[in-house]
Amino acid sequence: MSKIKSSFFCQSCGYQSPKWLGKCPSCASWNTFVEELLQKDDKKAAFSGLSSSRIASKPTLISDIIYEKQARTSSANAELDRVLGGGIVPGSMVLIGGEPGIGKSTLMLQVAVSLPDMKILYVTGEESEQQTKMRAERIGIKSNSCYLLAETNTQNLFKQIEILNPDLVIVDSVQTLQSAFIESAAGSISQVRECTAELLKFAKESGTPVFLIGHITKDGTIAGPKILEHMVDTVLQFEGDRHLSYRILRSIKNRFGSTSELGIYEMLGNGLREVSNPSEILITQRDFALSGVSIGATIEGNRPLLIEIQSLVSIATYGTPQRSTTGYDAKRLNMLLAVLEKRGGFRLGQQDVFLNIAGGIKVEDPAIDLAVCCSIISSFEDIPIPDGVCFAGEIGLGGEIRAVNKVENRVSEAEKLGFKEIYISKYNKGIEINSTKIKVNQVANLREVFEGVFG
């Protein structure tokens, strides 16, 4: 007989304490401790398989370790493959987080019904089998090897897995699962942790990849526990503005690939469409030149993207000038405005400045500074930037244009998309200007750029 024990858990970060606390010592949030029952001995037994193999291992010289290149399976979804680092790794556990309604279930269901050679088990704890089928029909069922299971009890789930022996398991969502070993309610910290541990053990022992869908809380972390992120191999975040159709799949942690990769989707009436050339959709096609619009060459992960920056500068009629940004850091905008004022002599102090990155994406890359400045000055002076010109440069406090990373990728992406001119920093070395079709202007400071662009 195992002894039933209880413990207090912070529902925000998963911190465990033997007694109730008002304030969590780990994440400093108040009133988050809830008592949860656990059966210690059973839990230990569940882990014994993993720990015994660890004790047996001994140190090996790194050069003596031989490994086989793991055969990855494609998910039939090029953007997801890219974010995973080249496909699904056998025995891996992937957690997909995102706000409610962003499209996590749609994405995973789309993967489930479009992989013809794999037996897939889609466990749905949130919606009924009929609801899921309806959604799958809307997306388009391309394979006949996807099984649906409406189950929340993990012990029953494992029984079904044993019978079916699937090649891939998708769980929607981890917060609905419930293990009989733990007394507390579904979605509580200890339940989520226990269910994930059970699934993790299954994934590692059977070599079956498992995808877990997890909700995120208001402050953007995966609901329940940070501990979940430590347990799984890969954490993907699905994000985007719910009112816009573009969605971005980002890797936050990846034991099998880079975390700088990015996948872009568009939510349509019949599911998610992969966007393989994002620059085309991020740049508005228009027939006439407009002041305040400039194109910046940015990099997300290893992927160059050309994005459109729009700004509107107008005289502030109501007292304090407003500065507002969408998709761009407001503090950075203030800094650039100060540089333009001090080093460029533009009187922007009494102007409202609105800055918008088109397409609803967020950019943190400092290399778009130059494009931001040009967009502001273009709007301020009401002179459009000539067609076919783009920018890639960081701006220093002295108004100098600083070098940016991966400048060759940015230049070649601009060239591929038919741009005629690009402005980059003079200090960016290692680029063969003569070998490119696009005209590369290497500049040292803002004045040189403005002379070139606005004459």
Binding stretches for ligand TYD (CB under 6 A): 98, 100-106, 135, 138-139, 267, 269-271
Q: Select the binding partner of residue 103 from Mg ion, ligand TYD, none (C-beta < 5 to 8 A, by kind).
A: ligand TYD
Least Cβ distance, residue 126 to ligand TYD (angstroms)? 8
Q: Hey, how many other C-beta atoms are within 10 angstroms of the C-beta on 56?
A: 7
Rounded to whole angstroms, the Cα distance separating 237 from 253 reads: 10
Of residues 92 and 106, the one with the C-beta less far from ligand TYD = 106
Rounded to whole angstroms, the Cα distance separating 113 from 108 reads: 9
Least Cβ distance, residue 73 to ligand TYD (angstroms)? 23
Of residues 133 and 323, the one with the C-beta less far from ligand TYD = 133
| Contact yes or no for 276/342 (Cβ under 8 A) | no
Q: Select the binding partner of residue 276 from Mg ion, ligand TYD, none (C-beta < 5 to 8 A, by kind).
A: none
All residues at 6 or more sequence positions from 207 whose CB lies less than 8 Å from its CB, including other chains: 90, 91
Binding residues for Mg ion, how many (CB under 5 A)? 1
Helix axes 189-206 and 40-56, enclosed angle (nearest 10):
40
Give the number of C-alpha atoms closer than 13 A to the C-alpha of residue 340, restricted to the C-beta side: 26
Q: Could you tell me which of 118, 190, 177 has the C-alpha nearest to residue 147? A: 118
Rounded to whole angstroms, the Cα distance separating 374 from 394 reads: 12
Least Cβ distance, residue 409 to Mg ion (angstroms)? 35
Residue with smallest beta-carbon separation from ligand TYD: 105
Rounded to whole angstroms, the Cα distance separating 402 from 444 reads: 8
Least Cβ distance, residue 388 to ligand TYD (angstroms)? 35
Least Cβ distance, residue 172 to ligand TYD (angstroms)? 7
Cis peptide before 173 (omega within 30 of 0): yes
Of residues 265 and 354, the one with the C-beta less far from ligand TYD = 265
Least Cβ distance, residue 53 to Mg ion (angstroms)? 35
Q: Considering only residues 246-285, where is the footprint of Mg ion by CB under 5 A?
A: none
| Contact yes or no for 194/230 (Cβ under 8 A) | no
Q: Considering only residues 165-224, where is the footprint of Mg ion by CB under 5 A?
A: none
Given 105, 110, 152, 254, the residue binding Mg ion (CB under 5 A): 105
Q: Select the binding partner of residue 106 from ligand TYD, Mg ion, none (C-beta < 5 to 8 A, by kind).
A: ligand TYD
Of residues 175 and 251, the one with the C-beta less far from ligand TYD = 175
Q: Could you tell me which of 300, 275, 299 has the C-alpha nearest to residue 79? A: 275
Least Cβ distance, residue 74 to ligand TYD (angstroms)? 22
From the list 43-51, 99-107, 288-296, 440-448, the region that binds Mg ion by CB under 5 A is 99-107
Least Cβ distance, residue 106 to Mg ion (angstroms)? 8
Rounded to whole angstroms, the Cα distance separating 223 from 7 reads: 19
Q: Select the binding partner of residue 161 from Mg ion, ligand TYD, none (C-beta < 5 to 8 A, by kind).
A: none
From the list 40-48, 105-113, 266-274, 413-421, the region that binds Mg ion by CB under 5 A is 105-113
Of residues 146 and 309, the one with the C-beta less far from ligand TYD = 146
Q: Select the binding partner of residue 217 from ligand TYD, Mg ion, none (C-beta < 5 to 8 A, by kind).
A: none
Q: Hey, how many other C-beta atoms are within 10 angstroms of the C-beta on 297?
A: 32
All residues at 6 or more sequence positions from 156 whose CB lies less than 8 Å from its CB, including other chains: none
Of residues 178 and 325, the one with the C-beta less far from Mg ion = 178
Least Cβ distance, residue 182 to Mg ion (angstroms)? 23
Instruction: Kindly report the backbone phi and psi dihedral angles of residue 12, in degrees, each rounded to the nearest multiple of 5, phi listed first.
Output: -95, -40
Angle, CA 448 vertex, CA 446 and CA 449 arms, to 5°: 65
| Contact yes or no for 326/300 (Cβ under 8 A) | no
| Residues at the interface with Mg ion (CB under 5 A) | 105
